[in-house]
Amino acid sequence: MRNSLGALLAIGLAGLQFMAVLAVVFSSYVTSERALLDHARDLLSDVGTNTIEHSRGFLSPARGAAELSARLAQDRVIASDVPELLEQLLFQQLQLAPQFAGVYHGSEDGGFVYVMRADASAPGPFRTKIIRVRGDSRNTELIWRDNEFNVIERRFDPEDTYDPRTRPWYKRARDQLTTIWTDPYIFFSSQQPGITLASPVMDGTDTVRGIVGVDIEISAISDFLARLRIGSTGRALIIHQNGDVIAHPNKELLKTKDADGTLRFVDITQFEDPIARAAFSGLKANGVVPTPTETLSQFSYGGETYVSVIMPPISEHLPWTIAAYALESDFTEVIKQNRLQNIWIAAIVAAVTGLLGLALANYIYKPVRAFAVRSALIAQGEIDPSEPSPKTYEELDNANRTLMQQIARRRETEMEFGQTFALSSRGMAQIDAGSGRFLRVNHKFCEITGYSEEELERMTFADLADPSDPPFLLPAADTGATPQEINHEMRCLRHDGTAIWTMVNAILSFNQEGRPLHFVLTMDDISHAKRAEEQITELSKDLSNLSRDNTMGQMAAGLAHELNQPLTAIAQNADSALFAIDQMAVADPELRHTLEEIADQSMRAGEIIKALRGFIRRDEGMKTAFDLPELVQQTRRLVMAEARVAGIAVLCETGPLPPVNANRIQIAQVLVNLMRNAIEAVAESGQAGGQAGGQVRVTASVEDGCVRVAVTDTGPGVDPEITLFSEFETTKVNGMGLGLSICKSIVEANGGRLWHEPAPEAGATFLFTVALATA
Amino acid sequence: MTDRLSVVYVVDDDQDIRSSLSRALGQRGFDVRPYDSAAEFLDGYDAETAGCVVLDYGMPGMNGLELQAELNRRGSPLAIIFITGHGGVPESVQAMKGGAVDFLEKPFRQPVLVERIEAALEIAEDRHAAMAQQREILARLARLTAREEELVEMMMANPAEVSSKELGNQLGISPRTIDHHRARILEKLEVRSLVELVDLVKRVEGAGPMLP
């Protein structure tokens, strides 16, 4: 199937722009989605990074402070065994870092100096606890101070049994001989979450003299997290490697009370923030909470889509994982709205540009369509190819011109053929090669056959043939050896039942595959020519009969004349003798009888000759009225063969004449004889060929109530020594000398005259007259 | 009738015919003059003597019919008997139309021929006599002067009004002069009355130019 240019253009232009719009929309959809997610991830990542930095920044002073204190003690810059000095140092350290909850030093002997921030109900903002150990005795002093290190209140606590050496931080730092960080826990005193950093104070190389510790409250981290804005509902939290949630914007959620009343952190799997629980419970299920790399993921909760990020642990000492989540829609809502808007815009743009595309396609296609419509109309003959074509493309215009020329030429040819067919003076028919049925016939064909066009279209060619003739069939179309052209003389039965002779010429045409299509048949009615031919043949036959008869008759007549002469002499002489005997006195009766016999026998011989002549002349008087010029033409055809051989032109200039009354065949004999004589005379004189050469001319005119026919030749003329028209006298080698005398007697028998005149220039003219047929 | 002066011409190209006929007719006392062609005959025949011509119908050169036509043209009173070896009805018809007195088909018996010749000679002599008379009348008419001839013509044209007075009025001359002319005319023409004059002139009217 061919594609329509119009459809292709429409699909092409509208479709292409639609695809382009779709591609832009889709790509922006995808890229915006990715940008969105990247943005979310970056945001969360930033949150994580910030939190990490914040936590580090929050915790690193503690380490600095603890290690500084440990080194000072170690280097005996301050005497760790002088609690007052130690207290002062620790107080300074505590004042430096607001996140420090307390700074302390425990010694191997069980002594302990502890400076801490007091709660609001205490007498001063700072409280110091000093445990002094002397041998087995110990005392515990509590000192409250203000910011200026002034003592506000001082008292002892005899009940105190605290021994630093039993505390986990002390043990771990002493065992590991390096600075250690404890896991976060809830401080007993402040009931705030925090961590403890412990650093050993060494004596010499390997002896531990005491441990310096720093308590850091990490609820400040939660405060920091609470200050972070992550979308509308996003949160960041810190999960310890054991699964405890140690920082969360909502600090209240962190703590829980065990059955024995001790506070502890809430595990992520039981955490009261359901979104966080949903997002990060999986971390613990995997066993190890910290992930080595930053991980961004998406999850659904409560029909909403969230994005989450998990940061790698802050440091070796702080195995904390910062986790953050946020509602995806916080980032994508605007973009999604924007995207919807974009889709609407794109759809409108697509529709508008699609319509424009269609309009453009239509604009481009319009001349093509007009061209196609015009071509179709021309093909159906509804408009003329010569009409000006609509404005169109140059290429189409060129094609159109070529096409129009071709169409015009084909039209012309078809019209010529059609006119030739319809107006032909010959009968023409188109016949189906297979069935022999008439497809189309022209007027002349109907005229020849006597059938109407409608009747013929229901007939086959074979129906026309005269059934009494051997059947002539057009060759079967499916035989391979079909001749292309057939000529045949055929007798047809006309509609009225009369038989006519026709000349049929059939040409078989083939289609491109070589299969026979139809016969184009031309038919001529040759009955008239056939009749004329038959007439001439008959005339020729009659003439040869007549010629024989005439020759015999003329011979008889000639003989009669010749014989009658001596017979007359005999009869006269016998009678003379009889007369002489009668004059004698004595006459011998026997002699008289003999002479009588002689005279009688000569008379009897004369009678016999007369009877013979009468018998030969039996056809005298068969006169008919006929057209002399027609007879001249027919006789001319009889002598044409000889004339052609001799190269002599025979001209008949008779013109129309009234009918004459004579024996037609006898007159034909005269004409043939005279023409033949003329041809022979010219031929013998050696004038042959060409217009300048010899010719024989037959003319006829009406004169004195009869038609005078003249046969003139350009031969040598008649020798004056010759006696014309006498029997047995001839100049011809093969002649009997009867021709002219026969002609003469024929003409005279028909009441005319035959004579000779010398031709005006050279040659001879023989003339004879034939009586007109009087009405 | 052996004392007759009638001449019989035999015109035939056949020597045997000529000699046999000459012999036969000579025996019977005819003045036979044979000729072997029409041309020779025309050269030699005697126009002053009555006679008949036994003429062969078909001869080379000028044939019998043509000779007959020529003689008619010359006003010859010769009677013609055609003899023919062809003997056709058409030929005889043409011959008789041309004024031939008889037509004989060859061969023929002599008595028949003689009988026809005698009949022909009678016709020929009658013609000859009539011609001689005409000639004599013409000779008389030839004596007239021009004026007299004019008067004769006027009298012949209107025989009812031929008084001298009327004629004088027509010609513008006196009746006396007319009377004188009339007397001379009657004298010259050897007639006694106007009636005889009219009869005389009428006998030569229509005759061809016979005068030599």
For A536-582, what is each residue's pLDDT tens digit?
Answer: 777 777 777 766 666 666 677 777 777 888 888 999 999 988 888 88
Average pLDDT (A228-255) is 82
Better-predicted residue by pLDDT, A554 or A217: A217
Residue B149 within a domain: yes
Q: How far is B59 from chain A (nearest CA, A)?
A: 9
Of B134, B185, B188, which is closest to residue B156 (Cα–Cα)?
Answer: B185
Interface check B176 vs A, CB under 8 A: no
What pLDDT sits at residue A478? 52
How many CB atoms lie under 10 A from the CB of residue A548? 10
Q: Which two tokens stand for residue A136?
A: 């087995």
Which backbone phi and psi does A103 adopt, to 5 degrees?
Answer: -130, 140
Statement to judge: residues B26 and B96 lie in one domain: yes
Choose which CATH entry (3.30.70.270, 1.20.1250.20, 3.30.565.10, 2.60.34.10) describes domain A624-771: 3.30.565.10
Q: Which residue has the higher pLDDT, A503 or A206?
A: A503
Q: Is B55 on the interface with A (CB under 8 A)?
A: no
Read off the tokens for A735: 């002649």
Question: What is the amino acid identity at position A589?
Answer: P
Task: Answer with the one of B113, B138, B163 that is the final residue of a domain.
Answer: B138
Report the greatest alpha carbon distance in chain B.
Answer: 71
Omega cis (within 30) before B212: no
Output the CATH code of domain A531-619: 1.10.287
Region of poorest pLDDT, from A93-97, A295-299, A461-465, A483-487: A483-487
Tens digit of pLDDT for each residue in B185-210?
888 888 888 778 887 887 776 544 33
Please give the tally of structural domains in chain B: 2
Q: Across residues A467-475, what is the average pLDDT?
A: 67
Q: Where are the domains of chain A?
A: 53-328, 424-521, 531-619, 624-771
Judged against a pLDDT cut of 80, whether residue A636 lies above it is answered with: yes
Same fold, A424-521 and A624-771: no
Select the residue of B19, B61, B107 nearest A571 (Cβ to Cβ). B107
| Torsion angle (degrees, nearest 10) of CA A608, A613, A614, A615 | 90
* B1 pLDDT higher than 70: no
Note the pLDDT of residue B32.
92
End residue of a domain, out of B84, B103, B138: B138
Q: How confident is the model at residue A482 (pLDDT cuts 50, 70, 90)?
A: low
Q: What is the DSSP letter of A748?
A: H
CATH number for the domain spanning B193: value is 1.10.10.10
Whether the CB of B63 is below 8 Å from some CB of chain A: the reply is no
Percent of chain A with pLDDT over 90: 2
Tokens of residue A208, six digits = 């531990």
Counting Cβ atoms within 10 Å, is residue A602 exposed (0-12), middle (13-18) or buried (19+)? buried
Identity of the amino acid at A141 = E
The verdict on a CB contact (< 8 Å) between A576 and B109 is: no
On whether the CB atoms of residues A643 and A679 are closer than 8 A, the answer is yes
Residue B83 is assigned to a structural domain of this protein: yes
Q: Across chain B, what does the average pLDDT equal?
A: 82
> In this predicted structure, what is the pLDDT of residue B9?
93
Q: Is B43 on the interface with A (CB under 8 A)?
A: no
Residue A675 belongs to what H/E stretch?
helix A664-684
Flag if B16 and A566 touch (Cβ within 8 Å): yes
With an 8 Å Cβ cutoff, is B13 touching chain A?
no
Residue B211 is assigned to a structural domain of this protein:
no
pLDDT exceeds 90 at position A403? no
CB burial of residue A655 (10 Å; 0-12, 13-18, 19+): exposed
- From the list A580, A610, A748, the residue facing B87 with the nearest CB is A610
pLDDT for the residue numbered A109: 85
What is the reported pLDDT for B91?
74
* Residue A263 CB-density burial (10 A; 0-12 exposed, 13-18 middle, 19+ buried): middle
**Angle, CA A394 vertex, CA A393 and CA A400 arms, to 5°:** 85
Residue at which a domain ends, from B138, B154, B178: B138
Cα-Cα-Cα-Cα dihedral sign, residues A721, A727, A728, A733: positive
Please check whether residue B204 touches A, CB under 8 A: no
CB within 8 A of A689, min separation 6: which ones? A647
CA distance linking residue B92 with residue B78, whole number of Å: 18
Say whether pLDDT at A137 is over 90.
no
Given an 8 Å threshold on Cβ–Cβ distance, is B28 in contact with A579? yes
Q: What is the fold, at CATH topology level, of the domain defined by A424-521? A: Beta-Lactamase (3.30.450)
Q: Name the residue among A438, A519, A354, A516 with its Cα closest to residue A14.
A: A354
Is the minimum CB–CB distance between B109 and chain A shorter than 8 Å? Answer: yes
**Contacts of A150 by beta carbon, 8 Å cutoff, 6+ apart:** none
Beta carbons of B52 and B81 less than 8 angstroms apart: yes
Angle at B124 between CA B121 and CA B128, to 5 degrees: 135
Distance separating alpha carbons of residues A540 and A639, to the nearest angstrom: 10
Listed in sequence order, the DSSP H helices in A293-327 are none
CATH architecture of A53-328: 2-Layer Sandwich (3.30)
Residue A285: predicted pLDDT = 63
Mean pLDDT of A330-353: 80
Domain containing B182 equals 142-204
Cα distance between residue B55 and residue B58, in whole Å: 9
| Pair B168, B91 in one domain | no
Greater confidence, B41 or A263?
B41
Question: Of all helices (H) and strands (E), which one includes residue A55?
Answer: helix A5-74
Chain A residue numbers touching B28 (CB-CB < 8 A): 579
Mean pLDDT of B36-55: 89
The mean pLDDT of A158-168, rounded to a whole number, is 86
- List CB contacts (< 8 A) between B109 and chain A: 571, 575, 599, 603
* Torsion angle in degrees (nearest 10) through CA of A566, A571, A576, A579: 180
pLDDT recorded at residue A41: 76
The share of chain B scoring above pLDDT 70, in percent, equals: 91
Task: State the pLDDT at residue A708.
Answer: 92
Residue B133 included in any domain = yes
State whether A579 and B108 contact (CB < 8 Å): no
Q: Are residues B33 and B80 both part of a single domain?
A: yes
Mean pLDDT of B91-118: 86
Asked if the C-beta of B87 comes within 8 angstroms of chain A's C-beta atoms, the answer is: yes
pLDDT score of B54: 93
pLDDT at A663: 84
- Cβ count near A537 (within 10 Å): 11
Q: How far is CA A98 from CA A126, A140, A169, A218, A226, in A?
A: 12, 26, 21, 11, 18
The pLDDT assigned to A474 comes to: 61
User: Smallest Cβ distance to A568: which of B28, B88, B108?
Assistant: B108
- Comparing alpha-carbon positions, the chain B residue that sits nearest to A601 is B107
- Whether residues B35 and B126 share a domain: the answer is yes
A208: helix, strand or coil: strand
**Are B148 and B132 part of one and the same domain?**
no
Given a contact cutoff of 8 angstroms between Cβ atoms, the answer to whether A213 and A103 are in contact is: yes
Q: Which two tokens stand for residue A333?
A: 């809502």
Which range is least confidently modeled, A202-211, A439-448, B29-38, B125-134?
Answer: A202-211
Same domain, B117 and B165: no
What are A348's two structure tokens?
């409108």
In angstroms, the CA A149 to CA A95 distance is 10
Give the rounded percent of residues in chain A with a pLDDT score beyond 70. 89
B2 touches A: beta carbon within 8 Å: no
Task: Indicate whether B119 and B188 sit together in one domain.
Answer: no
Cβ-based contacts of B17 with chain A (< 8 Å): 565, 568-569, 572
Rounded to whole angstroms, the Cα distance separating A612 from A618 reads: 10
| Together in a domain, B26 and B40 | yes
B14/A contact by beta carbon, under 8 A: yes
Shared domain check, B90 and B112: yes
Q: How close, in Å, is residue A611 to chain B by CA atoms?
A: 11
Residue B2 is predicted with a pLDDT of 41
Q: Which of A374-383, A454-463, A628-637 has the lowest mean pLDDT?
A: A374-383
Residues B122 and B147 occupy one common structural domain: no
With contacts defined as CB-CB under 8 Å, which chain A residues touch B86? 557, 560-561, 613
Q: Please count the residues of chain A.
A: 775
Question: Residue A405: how many CA atoms within 13 Å on its side-chain side?
Answer: 5
Predicted local confidence at residue A769, as pLDDT? 92
C-alpha distance from A566 to closest chain B C-alpha (Å): 7
Tokens of A567: 């017979």
Residue A612 above 60 pLDDT? yes
Same domain, B91 and B109: yes
* Nearest chain B alpha carbon to A620: B90
Predicted TM-score (pTM) of the model is 0.38
Are B85 and A562 an interchain contact pair (Cβ–Cβ within 8 Å)?
A: yes
Is B17 part of the contact surface with chain A (CB cutoff 8 Å)? Answer: yes
Note whether B28 contacts A: Cβ–Cβ < 8 A: yes
**Residue of A561, A596, A620 to mutate, testing the B interface (most B Cβ within 10 Å of its Cβ):** A561
Give yes or no: residues B33 and B88 share one domain: yes
Query: Average pLDDT of chain A?
Result: 80
Chain A interface disruption, residue of B109, B112, B114, B117, most A CBs within 10 A = B109
| The predicted structure's pLDDT at residue A691 | 47
Name B53's Cβ contacts closer than 8 Å, sequence gap at least 6.
B8, B9, B10, B11, B41, B45, B71, B78, B79, B80, B81
Cβ contact A576–B24 (<8 Å): yes
Highest averaged pLDDT of the listed ranges A396-400, A467-471, A618-622: A396-400
Q: Is residue B210 part of a domain?
A: no
